Structure 1
Amino acid sequence: MCRCRAPLLVSMIAVVLLAGCATTSGASAASAPQPFHVERSGKGRPLVFIPGLASSGEVWNETVAHLQGKYDCHVLTLAGFAGQPAIPAPFFATERRALADYLRSQGLEKPILVGHSLGGVLALAVAADVPELVGGVFIVDSLPFLPASMDPSATADSVRPRAEEMRTLMRMQTVEQRSMQSRMALRNFISDEKKVDVAARWGADSDAETVTQAFYELSTTDLRPELPRITAPTVVLGSWVALKGRVPREAVEAVYQSQYAKLPTHRVVLSDTARHFIMWDDPEGFFRELDGFLGAHASVAQVEPHH
């Protein structure tokens, strides 16, 4: 498999986590912080939307509006991101367990999980943990093990020293340094400058230690061995626009196909126009793929509308 020198996902993770994050924890000693905040709207088949690193659930606003209330939409903002109170480490294990518990406690019937970036990895983890509860997975520019897109021989153990080093360096950065690097990176991930401003604000409102720890855990979590447990139909939307002229499209697609090879239900679709925030950069193409997926898989269960 061809090694991409600077895959969009890897560079995205390495710099968005350097966002101009808040330097103090958002958690209050007087109240127990929750793993995520949920905004719920609409009626019908349940959809659970999970944003990426340092992003607000507002990243799905246009998507929810497009669905016009025809689905029971649960839009998450993860702890420590975009102004939400932080939770103690570990981050990823806590989030995946809490999301599975949420599906059970809400009695959601075969929900479709829609996740972007880190949110996509979390969606995969939950679909592997509780396959009987998940009716579909719609992944937006995520890979089950990011380091392997740079080095196919990478393992969680082999990348841990470098991840620890990166975590230390991130903790040493000033707010100004993170903010500057974040804005430079976001311009590579988002075409619309106004949307760059929005994402930068979410980063500035995120808890720096949460973002740092989430990056470390994401870098050392390899979900590929868990993929065979996923039984739900899965679509993976990928992006390669930022790599045009440097990496052939075929090489980028090969990375996605290789990473998802153990997931028998998957289908990879590469966008030729959108950057990392596909739902922002190419809403028409994104809605077309999402609508097609929901049309094929979201009418299986009859769901009582919530009150």
Structure 2
Amino acid sequence: MVTILALSAALAYGVADFLGGAVARKSTALKALTWCVPIGLAVVLASALLGGGSASPGPMAWGLAAGLSGGAGLIAFYRALARGPMSVVAPVSALAAAVLPVAAGIARGERLDASVLVGVLLCLVAIGLVSMEEGDGGKAVAGRRLLDSGPIMAAVSGTCFGVFFVLLKAAGDGSGLWPIVGARVGNLVIVAAALLFMALRGRDLGPKVSGRTLVALALLSGSLDAGANVLYFMAVHNGLLSLAAVLTSLYPAITVLLARVAYSERLRVIQRVGMAVAVAGVALVTVG
């Protein structure tokens, strides 16, 4: 069950990231998130009401903390997608997001069967392989600060997502889906704070998300991201943190493939190898 849920979360995250990145490229990260985050909150709120449970203070607080970290990660991630190739940004973020929960799981005393452990390690290797790109002699960051480059922002976002994964595990599963509602509220708080900061500084917020197509993509991205949150939450509370987080972090394969189709971003041999390794890793985890 955990494998199916986590891989379904990876699929939803992968499509959501591609769509969100497409919107951010036409507008800005913050403008895209002003559409994605509220619709995501509406989706998880409806799911929590239908799913039952109670909004207990403790789990909601864990969820809110997770959302604050996840919200910061979303801003960094969408900014990275707007600045660098999706086929590089998504895997770098995912690798950073996977390592932290694995370390946390081991620290919690989680122990995997031999075949599952090998599968998890293969998945981590796969994420790294898919993230490799050709050297560009530093031209990719020429004319802008290194810390604001796509890969660096992707690593920052991945770290935030890793904290998000760990905190949702800590939220427990005795309150239904309400911790996810808390998480989406945290997302909204971060986005609102970022918008306020930009407004007070007199910064240009960039072009609006306009047009039916772009708005529809933003709403679909937010809905899928919220659905992925729910699937991951169910996965991590039906199995081990390290296993659920690593399988969920395979979402770059979806983003990379979609970017290949939509933007003709070339899939290098090493990235193809990475995807093959990912399939082998998932197969071992499933058998185990």
Please, what TM-score do these two structures have when normalized by structure 2? 0.31
Please, what TM-score do these two structures have when normalized by structure 1? 0.29
Could you say which structure has the higher helix fraction?
Answer: 2
Q: Which has the higher contact order (CA 8 A, sep 6+)?
A: 2
Could you say which structure has the higher strand fraction?
Answer: 1
